[in-house]
């Protein structure tokens, strides 16, 4: 029986997986624009392969492909009647791959685009959206813990924690900040968001998506300094800037992101710095693929150094690596 997420966190940093929606779009299984997760039922083999790549790269948990798998969002592409099937099958696929190794399964929920603090009926509607997904995943699994992610409204993130806690499973919740001065949509600074979310019982709080490592690590550090509990940081593997910290706001999104993608060593550098400042869940989001996760795993000591020794016995170069006298290591 693998150790649970809280047991692992008590022993040291835990490494997450990478991005799913954008990578599966690049592979032809997700439509850019709506970015809905019907791949979980239409091409489960493709989803399983990406889970497998992340697990082989050293990820300690696999996130279910259930981002945007809520009634309202799936209705935009005519798939409202597939909510239950998508959520249940996504858990099934993730659990089957996780069983091949030692990874946990994180049942994923996300922003709903339905939360409106000015509408008194909005909170109960969002609760119902969350409850349906949670119950579907419990029926199919259950997962090992919950992840609620990419919340810009603190109020919506608090609703996620409320509903997740009711299941009895551990929960991680992460905010997203698109502004040059990071704030929730209600105006709360990252440290205040962390305090509020931890205060209602979230086991891990943090920040994910939108920002590259350079813009996100200071946000995560502010959260780290605000609370004594566990903190997560999962930046995108794209280069963002201080005056435009949200990669989705660039003209490159979504079809010309490749020039912005970070090298594996840059994500490894983020993992090293995050570990040094005490971030507990160190992961990545959109744009992060197996090479990034593997580089992060290596600097965190999550993968064995198993590269075999090699050199031409004749002294004659037998690869371009030798021919050009390269001596670089991966990270």
**pLDDT greater than 80 at residue 209:** yes
Question: Tell me: the pLDDT tens digits for 181-202?
Answer: 999 999 999 999 999 999 999 9
pLDDT reported for residue 322:
83
Question: Tell me: the pLDDT tens digits for 113-166?
Answer: 999 999 999 999 999 999 999 999 999 999 999 999 999 999 999 999 999 999
pLDDT reported for residue 143:
98
- Is residue 150 within 8 Å of residue 129, measured between CB atoms? no
Q: Which is it for strands 281-282 and 230-234: parallel, antiparallel or unpaired? A: parallel
Rg of the chain's alpha carbons, rounded to an integer? 20
Q: Where does the pLDDT of residue 88 fall: very low under 50, low under 70, confident under 90, or very high at 90 and above?
A: very high
Question: Tell me: the pLDDT tens digits for 245-267?
Answer: 999 999 999 999 999 999 999 99
**pLDDT greater than 80 at residue 85:** yes
Question: Tell me: the pLDDT tens digits for 12-67?
Answer: 999 999 999 999 999 999 999 999 999 999 999 999 999 999 999 999 999 999 99
**Mean pLDDT of the chain, nearest integer:** 96
| Phi-psi map region of 208: left, alpha, beta (phi>0 left; psi -120 to 50 alpha) | beta
- State the DSSP string of 37-70: -THHHH-HHHHHHHHHHHHHTT-SEEE-S-TT-S
**pLDDT greater than 70 at residue 331:** no
**Average pLDDT, integer, range 296-306:** 87
**pLDDT greater than 90 at residue 310:** no
Q: Where does the pLDDT of residue 169 fall: very low under 50, low under 70, confident under 90, or very high at 90 and above?
A: very high
Q: pLDDT over 70 for what percent of the chain?
A: 98
Q: Sheet with 230-234: list strands edge to edge.
A: 14-15, 281-282, 230-234, 204-208, 171-175, 145-151, 104-110, 61-63
**Average pLDDT, integer, range 172-176:** 99
**Average pLDDT, integer, range 88-110:** 98
Q: Where does the pLDDT of residue 323 fall: very low under 50, low under 70, confident under 90, or very high at 90 and above?
A: confident
Q: Which residues of 100-132 are buried (b: 16+ CB within 10 A; e: fewer)?
A: eeebbbbbbbbbbebbeeeeeebbebbeebbeb
pLDDT reported for residue 306:
64
Q: Where does the pLDDT of residue 313 fall: very low under 50, low under 70, confident under 90, or very high at 90 and above?
A: confident
Q: Where does the pLDDT of residue 330 fall: very low under 50, low under 70, confident under 90, or very high at 90 and above?
A: low
pLDDT reported for residue 329:
65
Q: Which domains does the chain have, with CATH numbers?
A: 5-323 (3.20.20.330)
**pLDDT greater than 70 at residue 106:** yes
**Average pLDDT, integer, range 82-91:** 98
For the question of whether the overall pTM of this predicted structure is more than 0.75, the answer is yes
What separation in angstroms does the CA of 168 have from each of 130, 160, 173, 196, 320? 15, 13, 15, 20, 55
**pLDDT greater than 80 at residue 305:** no
């Amino acid at each position: 029986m693998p150790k649970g997420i809280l047991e692992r966190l008590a022993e040291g940093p835990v490494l997450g997986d990478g991005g799913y929606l954008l990578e599966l779009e690049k592979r032809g299984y997700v439509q850019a624009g709506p970015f809905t997760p019907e791949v979980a039922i239409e091409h489960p083999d493709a989803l399983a392969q990406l889970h497998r790549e992340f697990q082989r790269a050293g990820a300690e948990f696999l996130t279910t492909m259930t981002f945007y798998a809520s009634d309202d969002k799936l209705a935009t592409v005519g798939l409202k009647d597939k909510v239950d099937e998508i959520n249940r099958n996504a858990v099934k696929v993730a659990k089957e791959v996780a069983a091949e190794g030692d990874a946990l399964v994180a049942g994923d929920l996300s922003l709903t685009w339905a939360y409106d603090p000015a509408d008194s009926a909005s909170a109960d509607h969002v609760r119902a959206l969350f409850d349906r997904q949670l119950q579907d995943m419990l029926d199919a699994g259950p997962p090992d813990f919950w992840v609620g992610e990419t919340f810009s409204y603190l109020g919506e993130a608090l609703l996620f924690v409320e509903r997740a806690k009711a299941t009895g499973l551990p929960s991680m919740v992460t905010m997203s900040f698109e502004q040059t001065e990071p704030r929730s949509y209600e105006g709360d600074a990252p440290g205040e968001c962390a305090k509020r979310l931890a205060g209602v019982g979230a086991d891990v709080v943090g920040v994910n998506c939108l920002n590259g490592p350079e813009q996100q690590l200071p946000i995560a550090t502010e959260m780290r300094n605000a609370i004594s509990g566990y903190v997560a940081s999962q930046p995108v593997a794209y280069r963002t800037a201080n005056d435009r910290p949200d990669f989705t706001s660039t003209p490159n999104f979504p079809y010309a992101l490749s020039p912005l993608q970070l090298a594996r060593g840059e994500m490894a550098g983020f993992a090293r710095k995050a570990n040094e400042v005490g971030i507990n869940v160190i992961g990545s989001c959109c744009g992060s693929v197996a090479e990034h996760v593997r580089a992060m795993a290596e600097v965190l000591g999550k993968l064995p150094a198993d590269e075999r020794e090699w050199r031409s016995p004749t002294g004659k170069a037998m690869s371009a690596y030798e021919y050009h006298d390269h001596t670089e290591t991966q990270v």
